[in-house]
């Protein structure tokens, strides 16, 4: 009850910010003119606000997007507000392993540095679907595509940090819903990656968000072991009605959001934690952590499990290299 009260009135935590802080406010003193950032899902919602604020602070931005037209429109809105903004739009379908590889090859051909990677894109699908690589679509888009994207960009990020002396940062956008998942991650993914299965859209989404948390934990450990000057953290942006719910629009969705309206954040407030973790100098050398309302907190028990993180990483490496479109089998 006390925590709910603190949330509702926006009491600031140790960082000096809280649930009512906005992305503009948490980046007020940031100069990002030497920063190049890739932001997935920057065409609308939290991603678009994150991009707008980082551009305002001077960052060069790269927008990977499945819908290039929407990305160009998002770019246009930012440039109209900040004419000096430099934004590159590139095609990327996160649900496709081949598309991720093509995007990274295209990005590398630009010979740009890379200081910041924000894995923001996400989907909450009502209908069951399988990706072209044989993976359940929510998991493929929200987690596996970002897993591969991050791994393929790590060399560039480490190189940029070495050349500039500026620590690189990776931010994975997850959700508090990750705590709703229980059970065997790999086995459940195997089940829902079959053409015919009993599909629970909310549980599938929770699985993908738990995977984001575990990815953060394992990647942080691996980066520290090799002495890379790159950190990775994950954030829960809070509850906000964005295009994430586009496949679930209707009376029930609208009713739920109406009844919880006092708990909802505005989009600028929802983007604040991402921007804080991406830019605040207080977080130098902070890695492998989970943030909400611009303050470090604790993920679920399963999300804190190092063994589960290692297991998921091993399965993910197999999934992005097996090139099988006949179905899910991480142990083949």
Q: The domain spanning residue 137 has which CATH number?
A: 3.40.50.720
For residues 172-178, average pLDDT:
97
Domain assignment present for 8: no
The DSSP output letter for 176 is G
Least confident of 31-45, 157-171, 289-303, 314-328: 314-328
Domain assignment present for 3: no
Identify the residue with better confidence: 312 or 331: 312
User: Which residue from 182, 276, 204, 199 is spatially nearest to 238, judged by alpha carbons?
Assistant: 276
Per annotation, catalytic residue among 143, 205, 276, 290 = 205
Segment 223-260, tens digit of pLDDT: 999 999 999 999 999 988 655 444 445 454 454 444 45
Rounded to whole angstroms, the Cα distance separating 91 from 114 reads: 18
Domain assignment present for 172: yes
Identify the residue with better confidence: 21 or 254: 21
Residue 139 has a pLDDT of 98
Domain assignment present for 240: yes
Q: Which CA distances in Å does 108 have to 71, 77, 91, 95, 154?
A: 20, 26, 14, 20, 12
User: Which residue from 205, 230, 227, 203 is spatially nearest to 216, judged by alpha carbons?
Assistant: 230
Residue 1 has a pLDDT of 39
For residues 212-230, average pLDDT:
98
Q: Which CA distances in Å does 10 have to 4, 17, 205, 294?
A: 10, 8, 27, 11
Rounded to whole angstroms, the Cα distance separating 55 from 40 reads: 15
For residues 207-217, average pLDDT:
98
The DSSP output letter for 144 is I
Residue 332 pLDDT class (50, 70, 90 cuts) = very low
Task: Say which residues have a Cβ less than 8 Å from residue 317's Cβ, sequence separation at least 6.
Answer: none
Residue 239 has a pLDDT of 87
Residue 183 pLDDT class (50, 70, 90 cuts) = very high
Identify the residue with better confidence: 260 or 301: 301
Residue 330 has a pLDDT of 54
Domain assignment present for 327: no
Domain assignment present for 7: no
Q: Is 205 a catalytic residue?
A: yes
Does 135 score more than 50 pLDDT?
Answer: yes
- State the total domains in the chain: 1
Domain assignment present for 328: no
Domain assignment present for 96: yes
Least confident of 26-30, 133-137, 161-165, 241-245: 241-245
User: Which residue from 202, 199, 161 is spatially nearest to 181, judged by alpha carbons?
Assistant: 202
Residue 126 has a pLDDT of 85
To the nearest whole number, what is the mean pLDDT of the chain? Answer: 91
Q: What residues make up the domain containing 210?
A: 15-322
Identify the residue with better confidence: 239 or 188: 188
Residue 257 has a pLDDT of 46
Whether the Cβ atoms of residue 199 and residue 259 lie closer than 8 Å to each other: no
- Angle at CA of residue 265, ends 262 and 266, nearest 5°: 120
């Amino acid at each position: 009850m006390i925590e709910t009260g603190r949330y509702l009135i926006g009491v600031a935590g140790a960082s000096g910010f809280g649930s009512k802080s906005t992305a503009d406010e948490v980046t007020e003193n940031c100069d990002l003119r030497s920063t190049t950032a890739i932001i997935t899902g920057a065409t609308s919602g939290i991603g678009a606000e994150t991009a707008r604020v980082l551009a305002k602070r001077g960052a060069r931005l790269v927008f990977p997007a499945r819908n290039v037209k929407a990305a160009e429109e998002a770019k246009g809105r930012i440039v109209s507000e900040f004419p000096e903004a430099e934004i590159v739009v590139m095609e990327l379908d996160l649900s496709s392993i081949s598309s991720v590889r093509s995007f990274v090859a295209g990005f590398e051909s630009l010979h740009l540095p890379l200081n910041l990677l924000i894995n923001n894109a996400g989907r909450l699908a009502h209908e069951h679907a399988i990706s072209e690589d044989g993976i359940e679509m929510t998991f493929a888009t929200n987690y596996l595509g970002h897993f591969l994207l991050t791994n393929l960009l790590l060399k560039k990020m480490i190189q940029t940090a070495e050349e500039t002396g500026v620590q690189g940062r990776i931010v994975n956008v997850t959700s508090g819903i990750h705590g709703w998942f229980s059970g065997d991650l790999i086995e459940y993914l195997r089940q829902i990656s079959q053409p015919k299965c009993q599909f629970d859209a909310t549980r599938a989404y929770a699985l993908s968000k738990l995977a984001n948390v575990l990815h953060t934990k394992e990647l942080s450990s691996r980066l520290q072991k090799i002495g890379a000057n790159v950190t990775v953290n994950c954030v829960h942006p809070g509850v906000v009605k964005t295009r994430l719910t586009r496949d679930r629009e209707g009376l029930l969705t609208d009713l739920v959001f109406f009844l919880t309206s006092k708990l909802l954040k505005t989009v600028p407030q929802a983007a604040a934690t991402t921007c804080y973790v991406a830019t605040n100098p207080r977080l130098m050398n902070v890695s492998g952590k989970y943030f909400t309302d611009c303050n470090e907190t604790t993920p679920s028990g399963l999300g804190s499990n190092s063994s589960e993180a290692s297991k998921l990483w091993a399965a993910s490496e197999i999934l992005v290299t097996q090139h099988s479109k006949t179905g899910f089998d991480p142990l083949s």
